[in-house]
Amino acid sequence: MKKVWPVPVAVALACSCGSKEGQEAEAIEPSPLPVTAAYASIDTLYEVIEVSGRVSSARTQDLVAQIQGVISAAPDCEGTSVRQGDVLFRIASGAAGADLSAAYAEYRRTEALYEYECSNYQGELTDEVSGMLRATTGLDNAQAVLSRAHISYGNETVTAGFDGLVSDVRVREGMTVYPGTLLGSLVDPSSLRAEVDLDERQLARCHDGFPAYVTIPSLGDTVVTGSVESVSPVVDPTMRAGTVTIALPAVEGLRPGATARLEIVTAIHPDLVVIPEEAVLVRDARDMVFVIEDGKAEWRYITRGPSGRGLVAVSDGVSAGEQVITSGHYSLAHDAPVAVVQ
């Protein structure tokens, strides 16, 4: 006797099988994960020391009083532009003029006495005798006093030693000052530099003439390229550090005292395969990257070389022109499908 299956059941089974195969197919083909990527390239890599410092003027002049007196003239405000030789401060002191007059009178008196002694000297007037008479008549001492009086009188005005801007004005008209009082400063805004103290290990890696990349936060993170002007030849025994000076180009709006972030180049490596530093991960205590191959993330261990300025040199594991994943890769697995997004 033949058994006949009901047609609807067979059709239902067939439909059921087709549905499971479709679900399995969907489970096997997941959606690509969004990532960002960059191409490995052959480029020059710069090793750097990253440190913070401040901008200063390469030319400054401390404006100091040389006599006691009252300030009779001073710059109206800081930032005043002046030319070389301009009078910046005047110090009123009647004593300087009186001292100069007295010094002149004493000099003339001793000079007349010296000439009288010379004309009445019995014997040959040799250089040695002349020197003795200058000393005994007081002419040498009077001449020295007169010279000092001239200097004091001349220092009643404080002048600019170069073209620049007045800074840090500390006195105003009517104030009494004394010899050595700091009146203010003069800076040259067209001759700027950045200074930074480095520990002795970092100091040993710096070289005169090497480039330095300087970021200025006050100017919207503007980056300028300077060069190492000088490296301290000695290490401060207390701080175990030395100063490195970076010469800077003229930048509009850049002022002495501004904060600077420095990347001082310590070594230059041309013609290396480089990738962005953010592409490198560490798995199993080894450096690795994900390289995109046929739309999938391929796990590769690499041998990394020097690094600097956001780049890492790779000597093995990645070739120039290959695309490495730079973000979205922390939880990736080998052969995971990916899609590069901007």
Is 16 a residue whose pLDDT tops 60?
A: no
- Beta strand pairing call for 33-39 and 336-340: parallel
Is 342 a residue whose pLDDT tops 50?
A: yes
> In which region does residue 220 sit, left (phi positive, over 0), alpha (psi from -120 to 50) or beta (all else)?
left
Classify the C-alpha dihedral 41-42-44-48 as positive or negative.
positive
Residue closest to 56 by CA, chosen among 180, 185, 171, 169: 185
Percent of the chain with pLDDT over 70: 91
- pLDDT per position as a tens digit, 183-224: 999 999 888 999 999 999 999 999 999 999 999 999 999 999
Instruction: Count CB-CB contacts under 10 A for residue 177.
Output: 21
Is 99 a residue whose pLDDT tops 50?
A: yes
> Is the pTM above the cut of 0.75?
no
Is 2 a residue whose pLDDT tops 50?
A: no
CA contacts within 13 A on the Cβ side of 42:
4
- pLDDT per position as a tens digit, 142-189: 999 988 887 777 678 899 999 999 999 999 988 889 999 999 999 998
Angle between helices 139-154 and 127-137 (to 10 degrees): 70
Give the span between the Cα atoms of 42 and 275, in whole angstroms. 9
Give the span between the Cα atoms of 328 and 34, in whole angstroms. 7
